[in-house]
Chains A and B, each alone.
Chain A
Amino acid sequence: MSIQVDHVTKRFGNFTVLNDVSLHAKAGELIALLGPSGCGKTTLLRILAGLERPDQGRILLHDVEVTDQRITDRRVGFVFQHYALFRHMTVTENVAFGLSVLPKAQRPSPDKIQKKVDELLSLVQMRAMADRYPNQLSGGQRQRVALARALAVEPKLLLLDEPFGALDAKVRKELRRWLRRLHDELHITSILVTHDQEEALEAADRIVVLNQGHIEQIGTPDEVYESPATPFVYHFLGDVNVFHGRMSQDETVHEEAIRQLPAEVDASGEHEVTFVRPHDLELSLSRTTPTQLEATVRFVITAGSRVRLELASKDSPQIISVELTRERYRELKLGQGDMVFVHPKQLQVFKMPGPRS
């Protein structure tokens, strides 16, 4: 089922949590709502579920307006951050709950319910724990039960509120991949709220980046990572080096020489800022073009899948972060105190308001 969010605004007291937010999700997509704490992503999710009402705007599910529809009528599956499993019911009873509260006319027979529960538990690989209670399960297991429970009522829309937030890193990674595979199997339109950019980049078909109640960018993981629309998105997804002034990757553009000098405020009252990702910086041991930056190696961190270097720029107090493959690092044989020349392979220039701070 497709989802349409139309100019939704939500305030809590004097604080505007969502400010004229609009987005459209196609049927069967897995969309991630990504942003820092307080950006409004959970509120938007809860509005979609019917747990909150927007002050302005409309919500349409499959082209039907549901803004005023009660939760119980919406047929939306919601997975809570802290699972919200019914603590006094077994796993089976938890999963069966949605089916057992259906009105008599629609309720399946106990056998049918049991069968459905078994199917779902097998799907989430929790069949063996069917008779356990929530407090006997680990966090990851509880989350899977919560998911099965939400799926039991065959929702047209699945909403997940930071489902893996309370779990440790390894479990998070596993469950994230598992969720993606599940989604590919079931094709339920899903919206996933997360503050973990890795999670969003790995699991989602499209990402909605939110900041302070408004949308910064909507796009596929590639689009959002490679072509960030705003500095915020750049910062939020991955590490970034910020250079004040305009850098150029085109060696032949002489007048756009790399400047470390304070950028003048241009006519429109803005100055230019260049964003470069650490892995988009190329290093060479000797100067090959006049536009390269000169820098000295300060720290080398070799642990991990890539090698990270911190360089001190020659002409300014700036620290430059560079990420190299291990191969390249071995080629260069760099050590602390060595001089290198830095050149961006890919960069993006934004205009920021006001003079350089």
Chain B
Amino acid sequence: MAMVLKQPSVLPGFGLTLGFALFYFSLIVLIPLSGLFVKTTTLSWEQFWHTVTEPRAMASYQLTFGASFLGALINGFFGSVVAWVLVRYRFPGRSIVDALVDLPFALPTAVAGIALTAIYSSNGWIGRYLEPLGLKVAFTPLGVLVALTFIGLPFVVRTVQPVLQDLDMEVEEAATTLGANRWQTFRAVIVPELWPALLTGMAMAFARSVGEYGSVIFIAGNMPLKSEITPLLIMTKLEQYDYAGATALGVVMLVVSFILALMINLIQWWSGKRHTTT
């Protein structure tokens, strides 16, 4: 333990707390996760490759990643607007709206799933107006997009909000005194500050959407090769006892998750570096 500690400490409990934390975490998280990778090794490389590149899987990737990406973009734009409005403006009900932004995060995914389906199905509150216009949302890839946008909503808002709150008004005032109009000030002064937070938020929304299950399967239609997301494909394989297939796809998803998490950390580190050098 003394080797691990950079500086021996008088505060008690280091060995106990770190030991327990590592033990618990390995038991509950690390070992089961590694079990997934180990299981994959029982497949031959051809088997693995075949499973993860079969048409049904490829179609599911397209839908999952495509819809997640679009959802992240939509949230990137509107989420920033929402963050701006919440931070800069005062209007009645602002604090309620502010609290509700976290709803997609606190709400069970199944509840979100059935609620969205009910709304966008052909006799739903919104669906009934969209269907005559030819826009079928429920049971189509568009429904997947809607669900993933809902899920990703809080991420961009909550990463951009603190940055906006900490913005130094003085810099904006300086730009104004130098003759910049509002739009120029926004572009030159505010956007560069927001950019890392925005990227982080979008990456998080994307990461979350890619793995999302509960809120999507009700509204998706779930037709193989058309409106089937990758997590559902994994679930289906499990139900058919195709453990090898489920594992292979699971590894793909896990690797993607880790890469995304790494990217997010990199963005945060990079933006942290920028700030300390200025």
Contact = CB atoms under 8 A, between A and B. Distances in A.
A12 B7 contact: yes
Interface in B1-41: 7-8, 10
Nearest to A71: B10
Interface residues of A, number: 7
7 contacts: A12-B7, A50-B10, A51-B10, A52-B10, A53-B8, A70-B10, A71-B10
A129 to B, nearest CB: 30
Interface string B250-262: 0000000000000
Interface of A: 12, 50-53, 70-71
A51 B8 CA distance: 10
Interface in B102-119: none
A71 B10 CA distance: 8
Q: How large is the interface on B (under 10, 10 to 19, 20 to 34, 35 or more residues)?
A: under 10
Contacts of A52: 10
Contacts of B7: 12
Interface of B: 7-8, 10
Contacts of A71: 10
Main secondary structure of the interface of A (DSSP, over half): loop
A38 B275 CA distance: 27
Contacts of B10: 50-52, 70-71
Contacts of A12: 7
B13 to A, nearest CB: 14
A71 B8 CA distance: 14
A51 B7 CA distance: 11
Contacts of A51: 10
List 5 A-B pairs, minimum CB-CB distance, nearest first: A51-B10, A71-B10, A53-B8, A50-B10, A12-B7
A71 B9 CA distance: 11
Nearest to B6: A13
A70 B7 CA distance: 16
A336 to B, nearest CB: 41
B159 to A, nearest CB: 29
A59 to B, nearest CB: 14
Nearest to B8: A53
Contacts of A53: 8
B221 to A, nearest CB: 54
B3 to A, nearest CB: 14
A299 B178 CA distance: 41
B160 to A, nearest CB: 30
A351 to B, nearest CB: 40
B14 to A, nearest CB: 15
Contacts of A50: 10
Nearest to A51: B10
B12 to A, nearest CB: 9
A57 to B, nearest CB: 16
A209 B70 CA distance: 67
A247 B8 CA distance: 52
A70 B8 CA distance: 13
A48 to B, nearest CB: 13
A71 B11 CA distance: 10
A319 to B, nearest CB: 38
Contacts of B8: 53
A12 B7 CA distance: 8
A302 to B, nearest CB: 39
A71 B12 CA distance: 11
A153 to B, nearest CB: 17
B4 to A, nearest CB: 15
Contacts of A70: 10
A12 B9 CA distance: 13
Nearest to A52: B10
A3 B7 CA distance: 26
A210 B8 CA distance: 25
A52 B8 CA distance: 8
Nearest to A13: B6
B185 to A, nearest CB: 37
A339 to B, nearest CB: 51
B241 to A, nearest CB: 56
A50 B11 CA distance: 11
A69 to B, nearest CB: 11
A52 B7 CA distance: 9
A304 B146 CA distance: 74
A50 B12 CA distance: 13
A53 B7 CA distance: 10
